[in-house]
Amino acid sequence: MTHASWQEIQRADSAAIWHPYAPATGGPAVYPVVRASGVRLRLADGRELIDGMSSWWCAIHGYNHPVLNRAAIAQLQQMSHVMFGGLTHEPAAQLANLLVELTPAPLDRVFFSDSGSVSVEVAMKMAIQYWYSAGKPQKQKLLSLRNGYHGDTFGAMSLCDPVTGMHHLFGAALSQQLFAPAPGCAFDAPCEDIDLAAMKQLLSQHCTELAAVIVEPVVQGAGGMRFYSPQYLVKLRALCDEFDVLLIFDEIATGFGRTGKLFALEHAAVVPDILCLGKALTGGYMTLAATLCNDRISSGISSGEAGAFMHGPTFMANPLACATALASIRLLLSQPWQRVVQRLNKELSAGLAPARALSRVADVRTLGAIGVIELHEPVDMRVVQPMFVERGVWVRPFGRLVYVMPPYVMNSADVAALTAAMVDVVAQL
């Protein structure tokens, strides 16, 4: 198969495409990819890059995996899509039951959607509709954390940090939510009552209007790559129960092994009322997300005025995506993935450690298969992105964070090359 040249792809791209978080024209360079296999991206000019981003954290098995390829091809030969209103199919039924089996009780009902942001929108609507059905329609607001990130759609944007969450331009148009300080207790440190004092005060003052609290358990992702104590979640669950407010966990980024547990909530053995999953759900092959809830939510909504949950995406439970997700989860569980993530953590920790000595570095931290170098000042993407490409790695920093979430299949030599490039680029900035 012949491919267009590097120059032809770039010309076509610049003529019509608007890339994420970039100006329509004159933005940072983009790099045409013609093939992806394993942990490598092949560019149109022949260069290969070690991918440290798992394509925004979802390609946990790397690219072009034979098991996932076979699953997608087999499902494609049956049907690629069918509407989910009034119909069902085997991949969705099997996937829903597998998710219920893998997540803790009493999460026993699964609502599929198209993306992580939409799964958060679904969770918000579930919480609000539940309270409406329970005769408390005044419970409409949500309480989130500073430094949190929950997606780019309008409801999800309202839950992101209004200052650091990349969405302040839309502030006047968004629903006004409540925000508690980000947890100050480190991942490996105890969490004291004082760490949740502001959260408790907000719950006490606003419980009559609050539908739910939503947090990213243990790891705050795009809002700062911050890791915090699992004990915070234990105390938060107790507070939500005390003030009769639902608890939502956003595990879109952390689900399916990224933190060293299958789900980050397992670090605390805490179960939310609603759980959002996405990203790695299909191993990066297809866009798919899921929102799980307990019987209290599903029965409460179903017995309410509407008699149904008022949401229905066109591509909900897409068969091709569901079949691929089944294959991805089964592939993950068939392997010693915990040992793999532990190895990645040790190698990321060792490889990034030299960055601690650099004057422009504020912190270096790792958790599971996540490695972060935090700088004192934001990076200039026009400068830093080509530096990584020249070193044969794909790392996509944002703000003050130079971080990686590599595919689980990455070997030790590639991890070493990846971390060495990160330290070298930071040293050269």
Residues annotated as catalytic (active site), given as ranges:
21, 149, 250, 279
CB 219 within 8 A of CB 264: yes
By CB neighbour count within 10 A (0-12 exposed, 13-18 middle, 19+ buried), where does 38 fall?
Answer: middle
CA distance 204 to 201: 5
Distances (CA, A) of 63 to 112, 116, 123: 24, 21, 30
CB 48 within 8 A of CB 40: yes
Residue 218 CB neighbour total at 10 angstroms: 28
Contacts of 211 (CB under 8 A, 6+ apart): 124, 127, 128, 130, 131, 139, 140, 141, 142, 245, 246
CA distance 139 to 263: 29
